[in-house]
Amino acid sequence: MRLWKQFVVSLAVVCAGVLVWGRLAPGAGDTLKGAGLPDGLVAAIAPATGDAGTKPNGQGRRQSGGFGGPTLVVTKPVQLTLVNDRLNAIGDGAAIRSVVVTPYSTGNLTDVFVKSGDRVAQGQVIARLDNDEQKIAADQARLTRDRAADKLKRYENLQAAAAVTEVAIQDARDELKASELALQKAELDLSRRDITAPWAGIVGIISVNPGDYVTTSSEIARIDDRSDILVDFWVPERFVPKIRIGGPVSATAIARPGETFTGSVEAVDNRIDPASRTLRVRARIDNPQDVLRAGMSFSVTMHFEGDRFPSVDPLALQWSADGSYVWRVAEGKAERIPVRIVQRNPDKVLVDAKLAENDEVATEGLQRLRDGSDVKVLGAANEQRQPAAAEGT
């Protein structure tokens, strides 16, 4: 076939396709007008619905769901869904107070008075360094102090007989003060040969033995006060406005499934991590039976009032240049409702829109809907007849 014949046949096919599209497709006339075609040509290609739906002999052709009649649609009711009412996170536990006990001075250990797992009181001696030299120094300082005190007492007795000058008495007083300070220093050095617990708690594994030479950096024991457990966990940024100091928290230890421990928010960090967009929160969990340990992993749960949003079927969502929207069906009319998607789930989509619970939104037959157009809900008549039939039985 010659080239010009192929061109003519192709042009004829295209024109026929445009004509069929203009006659059958809803809104074809608006599309052609938007393309800049003259009104006469638009009317010839895509006549108005009233013209296409009326036969020349005057017999009207109006069918349900046909051109000129109500559009058949399938609807589903809007439901209100509660979100952001619960926070679940994984956190790490730590003792409310924990300390690594080290000696104040260097020396050889002579005694270790505790063992792993012992409960100690605040100030209790847990180990001792050799202290013979410090005992001698303390005794010598005490003797010097006693002599200075006796000397001052004699000078004060002789002062009435004018046998001692005021200057000598003042020197005796200064000597007594200096000897008292020296005694305090010697007693402090002696007391620091005893290694004590800074607070009450449970002793961990002892890593030293009597006879070991230790320094000020040597670890004698670790003491944990686990009367309460601190749990640090990270919460998503959207929960930040809901976190409050003192807010209730429940936690389950991974090592003790089935047991729930209660507590409250102890502290909230002052900034959000820019990498993970999360906030660090610290909870204080009660441990009255001493069954929890520092370092345990916890599943933390917090409950909030939450936010309620309308949820619609994913098939109801439509998009245009202005954004997403749905078609609400009420009293046989279709109404276009703009929506903002809050959360998308496999079976429903949470939206922020002017929708009330049980509002009907169209999920099928959306292509021919226009704002304010007549609609007919498929199956609505059957649903109305079923209650009547039930009442008659």
Please identify every stretch of the chain with a pLDDT value under 50, giving residue numbers as ranges: 49-66, 381-393
Q: What is the pLDDT of residue 34?
A: 62
What is the dihedral sign for C-alpha 92, 95, 100, 104?
A: positive
| Angle at the Cα of 138 from the Cα atoms of 134 and 141, rounded to 5 degrees | 135
- Contact partners, residue 336, CB within 8 Å, separation at least 6: 325, 326, 327, 328, 371
- Tens digit of pLDDT for each residue in 21-74? 666 666 666 676 666 667 767 677 666 544 434 344 434 444 344 455 788 888
* Assigned superfamily of 87-95+222-306: Efflux pump adaptor protein, beta barrel domain (2.40.30.170)
Q: What is the pLDDT of residue 388?
A: 38
Q: What is the pLDDT of residue 103?
A: 93
Q: What is the pLDDT of residue 68?
A: 56
Domain boundaries defined on the chain: 3-47, 71-81+308-392, 87-95+222-306, 106-214
Q: What architecture is domain 71-81+308-392?
A: Beta Barrel (2.40)
- Tens digit of pLDDT for each residue in 128-140? 999 999 999 999 9
Q: What is the pLDDT of residue 131?
A: 93
- pTM for the whole thing? 0.58
Q: What is the pLDDT of residue 232?
A: 94
The token pair that represents 103 in the structure block: 């000696």
Q: What is the pLDDT of residue 124?
A: 93
The number of beta carbons lying within 10 Å of the beta carbon of residue 373 is: 15
Give CA–CA dist 37/35, Å, rounded: 6
